[in-house]
């Protein structure tokens, strides 16, 4: 268990990390999800220079039916696993989401998963490992 400054428990610390497969898999992560099947903003000229933190890219990546189904299933998996990991005494969990370059799809998905975790009362850390790397 983790403890806040006031001595109360805060539960497991979850980190959500985005990355690009072409830059290598991240080390020290617990679960890796491949987002390369989602709509790719790299092929849309006006979206290419933006990142997954920009609303037009988020909307493009997350707006498809496939994206919605993927996010729902990841959320269902986390609903099952987070309490189980916590019950086993795991204090830290890192989820990694990858796409080709680590600037668009993985970033948008990581931000959305973090948003959904915050909605469940968690305070996930978010790391975008490759967001500043060129295409």
Average pLDDT, the chain: 92
- The mean pLDDT of 102-120, rounded to a whole number, is 97
Q: Assess whether pLDDT exceeds 60 at residue 3.
A: no
Task: Considering only CA atoms, give the Rg of the chain.
Answer: 15
Band of the pLDDT at 8, cuts 50, 70, 90? very low
pLDDT at 2 over 80: no
For 54-73, the pLDDT digits (tens) are 999 999 999 999 999 999 99
pLDDT of residue 4: 45
Averaged pLDDT, 8-35:
91
Quote the pLDDT of residue 10.
56
CA distance 124 to 135: 27
Q: Which residues contact 49 (CB under 8 A, 6 or more apart)?
A: none
pLDDT the model gives residue 135: 57
What pTM was estimated for this model as a whole?
Answer: 0.91
Across 119-131, average pLDDT: 95
Sheet holding 125-128, edge to edge: 31-34, 92-99, 13-20, 125-128
**Cβ-count burial of 29 within 10 angstroms (0-12 exposed, 13-18 middle, 19+ buried)?**
middle
């Amino acid at each position: 268990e983790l403890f806040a400054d006031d001595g109360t428990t805060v539960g497991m610390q979850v980190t959500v990390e985005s990355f690009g497969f072409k830059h290598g898999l991240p080390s020290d992560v617990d679960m890796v999800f491949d987002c390369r099947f989602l709509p790719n903003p790299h092929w849309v000229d006006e979206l290419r220079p933006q990142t997954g933190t920009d609303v037009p890219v988020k909307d493009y990546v997350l707006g498809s039916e496939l994206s919605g189904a993927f996010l729902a299933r990841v959320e269902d998996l986390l609903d099952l696993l987070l309490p189980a990991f916590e019950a086993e005494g795991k204090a830290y969990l890192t989820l990694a989401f990858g796409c080709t370059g680590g600037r668009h799809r993985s970033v948008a998905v990581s931000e959305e998963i973090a948003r959904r975790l915050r909605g469940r009362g968690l305070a996930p850390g978010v790391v975008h490992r490759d967001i500043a790397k060129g295409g």
